[in-house]
Amino acid sequence: MQRYTWKTGILEAVMILTAVVFFIPLYVLIVTALKEPNDPGGSLALPAKVTLQNFADAWNQGHLGNALGNSAIVTICSVVILIVFSSLAAYPLARITKRWSKLAFIGFMIGLLLPFQLALIPLYQTMRDLHLLGTVWALVLFYAGLQMPFSIFLYTGFLRALPIEYEEAAAIDGAGLLTTFWRVLFPLLRPITGTVAILNVITIWNDFLTPLLYLSGSGQQTVPVAIYAFVGQYVSQWNLVFAGLIISIFPILLVYFLLQKTVIQGFASGLKG
């Protein structure tokens, strides 16, 4: 298979056909959003007349601008907290070989097994008592805790494989621990920081159940909840609904297509530890 043979040609044709089938749902999403409500064709047909009105209507009626803003705030704040705190925690977890350090690591990893619904319900009461319910800060705090084990897992694995010489050099120069970490170690962690950021951004941006509970009745919404409310209101007006769906998935798809190599590598390498 060093050269491009006829067998490779057949494989190529089969794979492209498969990709076309995979893409059909997204094709329908796009063409439906571009159609007028009374478009005569079937769902697979191209629009008889292309319109952008659905996008304008969805934007105005779905309060999508507000939801996109909230989602951006929640996602950015929680990911920044996650990166800073989990990389800091990974430092002792990776470098200290004593028993308590191993136990602490296991303690964090237990969090990977717990389904988040278990904590979600009692935490609802705590958030209410702290008057955080209905604000985006409840979500920021929640995601920071929920995603902490996975982020620590990634950072610790990466740090353990990183040679210790750089830190030694810094220590000989008399640098303090925090300076060493911030000036020397953190820049070296860049590849895994990218992975941690990407995986968390996608998980947090797309989460539905948490904001559904913690923001309900507050007038504040994140994108998935806004879509949920929007579709509930305009059910079966599919042209409008699909335009709303496109607006809501646009930011995440844009990030994906711009950074596709990094995103795909992040998913692959991150999960391999």
Partner 1 sequence: MALDRPARRRKGGIDLNGRRGLWLFLIPAAAIYIFIVLYPSIQGAALSFTDWNGLDPVKNFIGWDNYVKLFHDPKALASVWHTLVIAITIMIVQNLVGLLIALGVNSKIKSRNVLRVIFFAPAVITPVATGYLWQNLLGQKGAVNEFLSFFGVPPTTWLGDQSTAIWAICVVIIWQFAGYSMVIFLANLQGIPREIIEASMVDGAGPIRRFWSIVRPELAPSITINLMLSIIGGLKIFDQVWVMTGGGPGGSTETMSTFLYKNAFQFGDFAYGIAIAVVLAILVGIISGGQFVILGRQNRGSK
Distances from the Cα of 140 to the Cα of 47, 72, 127, angstroms: 41, 11, 12
Indicate the length of the chain as a whole number. 273
Residue 245: closest CA among 58, 39, 60: 58
Per-residue DSSP letter, 24: H
* Pattern 88-107, partner 1, x by CB under 8 A: xx-xxxxxxxx--x--x--x
149: contact with partner 1 by CB under 8 A:
yes
Q: How far apart are CA 10 and CA 246, in angstroms?
A: 34
Question: What's the closest the beta carbon of residue 201 comes to partner 1, in angstroms?
Answer: 10
With beta carbons less than 8 A apart as the criterion, state whether 244 and 62 touch: yes
Residue 44 near partner 1 by CB under 8 A = yes
Among 165, 190, 217, 219, binds partner 1 (CB under 8 A): 165
Close Cβ partners of 104 (under 8 Å, ≥ 6 residues apart): 93
**115 vs 219, beta carbon nearer partner 1:** 115
Binding of residue 173 to partner 1 (CB under 8 A) = no
Compute how many other C-beta atoms are within 10 angstroms of the C-beta atom of residue 181. 17
- Asked if residue 166 binds partner 1 (CB under 8 A), the reply is no
Q: How far, in Å, CA of 262 to CA of 12, rounded?
A: 25
Total of chain residues touching partner 1, rule CB under 8 A: 111
Residue 249 as a binder of partner 1 (CB under 8 A): the answer is: yes
Of 46-54, 55-63, 249-257: span binding partner 1 (CB under 8 A)? 249-257
CA–centroid distance for 36 within its chain: 33
H-assigned helices in the chain: 6-33, 53-61, 64-95, 99-113, 116-129, 136-146, 148-160, 165-172, 177-179, 186-188, 190-206, 209-214, 223-233, 238-258, 260-272
What secondary structure letter does DSSP report for 180?
I
Q: Residue 76, interface with partner 1 (CB under 8 A)?
A: no
Q: How far is the CB of 246 from partner 1 (least distance, A)?
A: 9
Q: How far is the CB of 260 from partner 1 (least distance, A)?
A: 5
Residue 43 as a binder of partner 1 (CB under 8 A): the answer is yes
Interaction of residue 73 with partner 1, rule CB under 8 A:
no
218 binds partner 1 (CB under 8 A): no
Among 6, 38, 42, 49, binds partner 1 (CB under 8 A): 42
Please identify which residue in 1, 103, 129, 174 interacts with partner 1, judged by CB under 8 A: 1
In the stretch 227-246, what mask flags binding to partner 1 with x, by CB under 8 A?
Answer: xx--x------x--xx--x-
